[in-house]
Amino acid sequence: MRSELALAVFTLGLLGCDEKPDGPAPQRFASVKKNTQASATAFCDQSYPATGAGTKRFVPPELRPFGPASPATKTPGWTWLNIWATWCKPCVEEMGMLNRWHDALTRESLPVRFELLSIDEPTEQPALEAWSTKNLPGRIEWVRSQADFGTLLDSLGVERNASIPIHVLIDPRGLVRCVRVGAIHEQNYGAVRDLIAEGH
C-alpha cells in the first residue's frame, strides 16, 4: 500500500496537467503565453536543426497494447506527436483544433501524420477507449509506463516535471525539429505551417 501511494505521488509530480476535464484548468496553464508572432522560433520551446551538429533523432517510447493491431507502415512526411491524457483539460480542449489543422495542412499539400500518445494510467483505459471512438486527427498510442514517459522527455530535452500537452514535430527523416510544451492556440498555425513547408 505504501509503495502504491509513493507511485501515485511520483506520478502526480511528474505530470504537470493534473486536473480532470470537468475541473478548473490548473493555475500553471494560466501563465502559458499565447504567441502573437507566426514564427517557428516563438512557437517551439526547443528547436533542433535539420543537418549538422545538434540534430536529434526521434526515439519512439515503448507502448502498451491498445486498439486493433495495424501493420507497421510508415507514411512519408512529417509526424506530429501529441503527448496528452484523457484527464488533462487543455489537452482535450485542443483536439478539435488539431483536427482542423490536420485538414488544413492536407489541403495545402503538407500532409502530417498525427500520433496521439496517451500517458494515462491503466485505470483510465475505459476513458481512453471512449476517446478512440471520437473523430480524432490521428491514432491513439499508449505509453507503456511512467518510466518510459520519463525516458521520452529526457530524449526530447524536456524537463521531467513539464506540463502536458507536449507537441513534437518530427521531419520525414525522423529528426525532431520542434518541441512545444503546453497548450497551442489558433494563431500558432502559421508558425507550424512555415516550419513544415520549409522542410517539406
The pLDDT, as a whole number, for residue 10 is 40
pTM of the model: 0.79
The pLDDT, as a whole number, for residue 200 is 60
The pLDDT, as a whole number, for residue 32 is 35
Answer yes or no: are the C-beta atoms of 181 and 155 closer than 8 Å. Answer: no
- Size (the chain), residues: 200
Give the cell for residue 104: 488544413
DSSP H or E stretch at residue 9: helix 2-14
Domains of the chain, earliest start first: 2-198 (3.40.30.10)
The pLDDT, as a whole number, for residue 66 is 84
From first to last of its 200 residues, what are the pLDDT tens digits of the chain? 444 434 443 444 444 564 444 433 333 323 333 333 346 668 999 999 999 999 999 999 999 988 766 555 556 799 999 999 999 999 999 999 999 999 999 999 998 999 999 999 999 999 999 999 999 999 999 999 999 999 999 999 999 999 999 999 999 999 999 999 999 999 999 999 999 998 76
Q: Collapsing DSSP states into helix, strand and coil, what is residue 78?
A: strand
Pick left, alpha or beta for residue 72 (phi over 0 → left; psi -120 to 50 → alpha; otherwise beta).
beta
The pLDDT, as a whole number, for residue 9 is 36
